[in-house]
Amino acid sequence: MTVLPSKPALETALSHRSIRKFTGEPIAPEMLQAVLAAGQAASTSSFMQLVHIVRVTDAEKRKQLRTVGANQHYIETCAEFLVFCIDLAKHKKIAPDAQTDWTEMTLMGAIDAGIAAQNVLLTAESLGLGGVYIGSLRDDINATDRILNLPENVVPLFGMCLGHPAQDPIMRPRLPAACVVSENGYAPLDDALYAGYDATVADYYQRRSNLDLNFTKQVRNTLCHEVRPDILPFLQRKGLAKR
């Protein structure tokens, strides 16, 4: 494999921003090969390698997935669009009596996919590319499944847009470290620390988009109603999470 110049891992990780505007320049084949190889090199639960990546190059499929994915135009305009899936179909072929319907197998597959995808994105960013995750493919997971013609025991989890950045957005502030890291047990959310963070997020959205939004409102907007209730029946239809 061609050795490509890349930024150090720490510098790359700490400078992450989601990129939603791209130049239109294609990703060089050797660069794409490198980021996909990095995904495959990721840690994997029990060495099961429960991930399949669908590289979507067909323009019509991209258009259809954009419709599923909250009409996010960058699904069509990015240089590469990847869909990360839980894959237990390979294992069923290898061992037809494999018990893939345990919920633990679904968790293992989701963990593997998340780790592999972060390897892909981190490597892409180290090479000067940018990207963004597309979780909205699960807004209609049945449609995503049909568009990609996925077999039983394969579940689409999220997409990833990759390309050469055409924007330089400000970084979105994360929770204070003390709100997410504790020692020897779980520490409840610190109200004073959180209040300061909420104000920081409100300022960020005002500066970025002139929005009246903070983290509390974002949590309520996301979690205080049904959250994709079709996911469990879909998983079970695909042969997963039955017990």
Res 70: pLDDT: 87
Task: Return per-residue pLDDT of the chain as tens, 243 residues.
Answer: 677 999 999 999 999 999 999 999 999 999 999 999 999 999 999 999 999 999 999 999 999 999 997 899 999 999 999 999 999 999 999 999 999 999 999 999 999 999 999 999 999 999 999 999 999 999 999 999 999 999 999 999 999 999 999 999 999 999 999 999 999 999 999 999 999 999 999 999 999 899 999 999 999 999 999 999 999 999 999 999 999
Return the H-helix or E-strand segment holding 131: strand 130-134
Classify residue 105: in a domain, yes or no. Answer: yes
3-state SS of 201-216 is HHHHHHHHHCCCCCHH
Classify residue 198: in a domain, yes or no. Answer: no
Neighbours of 139 (CB within 10 A): 14
Residue length, the chain?
243
Instruction: Name the domain count of the chain.
Output: 1
User: What phi, psi does 179 have (nearest 5°)?
Assistant: -85, -10
Classify residue 58: in a domain, yes or no. Answer: yes
CATH number reported for the structural domain that contains residue 104 in this entry: 3.40.109.10
Q: Which are the contacts of 237, defined by CB distance < 8 A and separation ≥ 6?
A: none
Three-state DSSP class for 23?
Answer: coil
Classify residue 196: in a domain, yes or no. Answer: no
Classify residue 1: in a domain, yes or no. Answer: no
Asked whether the beta carbons of 62 and 81 are under 8 A apart, the reply is yes
Res 185: pLDDT: 98
Return the H-helix or E-strand segment holding 222: helix 215-223
Nearest Cα to Cα of residue 134 among 61, 224, 74, 86: 74
Classify residue 41: in a domain, yes or no. Answer: yes
Res 2: pLDDT: 74
Asked whether the beta carbons of 156 and 2 are under 8 A apart, the reply is no
Classify residue 32: in a domain, yes or no. Answer: yes
Domain range spanning residue 159? Answer: 9-169+232-237
Classify residue 186: in a domain, yes or no. Answer: no
Separation between Cα atoms, residue 40 and residue 115, nearest integer Å = 10
Query: Cα-atom radius of gyration of the chain, to the nearest Å?
Result: 19
| DSSP summary character for residue 152 | T
Nearest Cα to Cα of residue 112 among 158, 48, 190: 48
Asked whether the beta carbons of 51 and 105 are under 8 A apart, the reply is no
pTM: 0.95
Separation between Cα atoms, residue 58 and residue 80, nearest integer Å = 11
